[in-house]
Structure formats: structure tokens, C-alpha cells
Homo-oligomer: A and B are copies of this chain.
Amino acid sequence: MSEEQFQKGWRLKLHEIIYGTHTPAGKLFDIILLVVILYSIIIVMLESVPRFDLKYHGFLNVSEWVVTILFSVEYVLRIICIKRPSKYIFSFFGFIDFVSTIPKYLSFFIGGSQYITAFRALRLLRVFRILKLVRFVGESNNLVRALKASRTKIFVFVFFVLIVSVLLGTIMYLVEGPEHGFNSIPHSVYWTIVTLTTVGYGDISPETPLGQFIATLIMIIGYGIIAVPTGIVSAEYASARKVDKTVDEGRSCHNCGADIVRSDAEYCRKCGQKLNDD
């Protein structure tokens, strides 16, 4: 029983360091983790540059193994120090942590550099863990609230833009045709979205006077409707600013790892676990 008590105390301490962010050790852990993640992303990026890969292949390979082992240790510790490991393993960040660690081991068994490169890309998703640090800033709450409130409206808007793009794209296909680079309707729709969003690559551009006239109309439409999402978000954000509640960040549930947002919370809002137990 005392053994169990000890282990529980040891696991609780580890839990506070790895999941929590309100102790100095927990903060340090998260900052170190952030640095290692950034380092691993830079390595993946440099590996994709042929010039660097030729010159420093050995160094990059060793670096990646070191990072992979560090992440493996972190992954195992995360599972150990939580009461219900399945809650973590099948959570969003649990999944990202897993797919960030596994590809390098797989490259050992399965040859074929093509596939491994593809897996490496997924490791970049690890950066989203940094967003947990972003919460510290405490400023993004209003932003998230405003975006959530305007979600449906933005969707309706994007849906309408897509319908308009399909229609205008078809008209441009009929006007310009394959001889001016508008090879097919999907290709013309791609061009319409490039124009409507004011990106304007210029890989395809209208050449007939009528096509240029329609392109002009599309641009002015795009210029006008760019106001719509902005108007929505502005209004929602302005009203979201008024519903600002103070939150106590840094604690997390010992049972399922969820963040404790309200400072007066006594039970975890995700799994119902009594908080502050030892």
C-alpha cells in the first residue's frame, strides 16, 4: 500500500511536469519540448533540400535518431503517468505524438525512401502541440470565440463562393477554350478561384477581349465579397470582447489529461474526476 502510495506520488509528480504547466518544472519541460520540436522540423526541412542532404546526410540522420528517441521516451512517460492511458492514446494529441515518432522506426524495416518521406511530413503535425503553449498567452480566447460564432456564416459564404466559381469557370471555359490554356472546366474553376481570391498566379490568363472583360467582372466581384468574411468576423469579435471571463490556466486533470480551465473547478469537466486529490 505504501509502495502504491509512493508510485502514485511519483507518477503524480511526473504528471505535473509533463501535462501541467503551472509548476516551474512543468514550464521548463514544455519549453524544452518546444525547442526539440522546432529543431526536428528544421531537420526534416533541410533533409528535403538536395544540397544540404548531400553534404550533411550523416549529421541529419543522427539528429533525427536522437529526436526520435527523445520523443519515444516522452510518449512512454506520458502513458505511464496518466491513470487511464487509453484516454491519452486515442486523443488528438496522442495520435499526433504517435505518428510523429513511428516513421523513423518503420524506415528500419521497410525500404523505399518514397514512403518514409511521406510519413516524415506527418511528423510536422507535432507543431500543433505548441498551440498548448499558445493558450498561455490567454489572448486567443476571444479570437476562438469569434471564429466559432462566425463558423456557420463563413461556411455559407465559402459555399456560395464555390457555386459562383463553378458557374464563372464554366463560362470562361466556353469563352476562352483549351487554345488559351483553359483546358477543362475543373481547370477553369481553378483559374476562377485563383482570380476571385485575388491570388492571380498568371499561369493561365485570359487572352480574348471578352475573356478579359469577364475576368475584370470576376475581380471586382472578388474585391467586393472579400468584405463579407471580414465584416462577419469584425462584428462577432467586437461582441466576443465583451464576454471575457478570467480563467486559471496551467492545471490539468490527473485522470484524463484534459486542461482545467476554470480556477474554481473541483471536478474535471471531461471525465468527472475529483480534482486536487492525492
Q: A199 in the interface, Cβ–Cβ < 8 Å? A: yes
In the assembled complex, A223 has its CB within 8 A of some CB on chain B: yes
A41 contacts partner chain B, Cβ-Cβ < 8 Å? yes
Binds B, one of A3-11, A83-91, A164-172, A252-260: A164-172
CA distance A110 to B261 in the complex (A): 61
A130 interface residue (CB < 8 Å to B): yes
Across-interface contacts of A48 in B (CB, < 8 A): 173, 184-186
Q: Which residue of B lies closest to A178 (CB)?
A: B50
Contacts of A219 in B (CB 8 A): 193-194, 197, 199
Of A12-20, A71-79, A120-128, which stretch is located at the interface? A120-128
Q: A166-B41, A200-B201, A215-B190 are in contact. Are A241 and B233 (CB under 8 A)?
A: no
Q: Is the CB of B235 within 8 A of A220?
A: no
- Of the stretches A24-32, A61-69, A202-210, the one at the interface is A202-210
Number of interface residues of A (CB under 8 A): 84
Contact between B224 and A228, CB atoms less than 8 A apart:
no
Known: A224-B229, A227-B234, A231-B233. A187 touches B212 (CB 8 A): yes
**Cβ of A139: which chain B residues have Cβ within 8 Å of it?**
152-153, 156
In the complex, A249 has a CB within 8 A of chain B: no
- Please state if A209 and B186 are interface contacts (CB–CB under 8 Å): yes
Interface: A143 (CB within 8 A): yes
Whether B222 contacts A231 by the Cβ 8 Å rule is no
Q: Is the CB of A237 within 8 A of B226?
A: no
Q: Are B226 and A230 in contact (CB under 8 A)?
A: yes
Q: Is A163 an interface residue (CB 8 A)?
A: yes
Q: Which residues of B contact A171 (CB under 8 A)?
A: 121
Closest to A222 in B: B197
17 pairs of residues in contact across A and B, judged by CB atoms under 8 Å? A45-B186, A121-B170, A121-B174, A124-B166, A128-B163, A131-B163, A158-B220, A186-B212, A190-B213, A194-B200, A199-B222, A200-B201, A223-B226, A226-B226, A227-B229, A230-B231, A230-B234
